[in-house]
Amino acid sequence: MSAASSSRGTARGHGETVGRVAHYYANAGAAVIELTRGALAVGDSVYVHGHTTDFVQRVDSLQCEDEAVERAEAPTSVGLKLDQPARTGDRVDRITPTGDANHAT
């Protein structure tokens, strides 16, 4: 089983789409994420997926208007450092661990 299919299985059924990749900066390894619903916070896990993108990672930091923030709520755009490349239009889902009722959006 590949890592991609493994991450897809982890995220499926446990996530909420919170936005999409508006732009990816390859040199910085970071993306601008347009949050369209819900919220994203440092410590969350996200599932980034699209036509050729498929990975899960933890949110270690967020930037909003060049300021570090702990949490951002839609509608807004945030900067997010990514472990792997992403493409414009890729979906970003916040993964909710089973039984995580304390992180309401």
One digit per residue, the tens of pLDDT, for the chain of length 105 reads 334 434 444 445 468 999 999 999 999 999 999 999 999 999 999 999 999 999 999 999 999 999 999 999 999 999 999 999 999 999 999 997 654 444 444
Say how far apart CA 97 and CA 21 lie, in whole Å. Answer: 23
Name the pTM for this structure: 0.80
23 contacts 88 by C-beta, under 8 angstroms: yes
Beta bridge pairs of residue 17: 93
Q: Which domains does the chain have, with CATH numbers?
A: 3-95 (2.40.30.10)
SS3 sequence of 28-73: CCEEEEEECCCEEECCCEEEEECCCCEEEEECCCEEECCEEECEEE
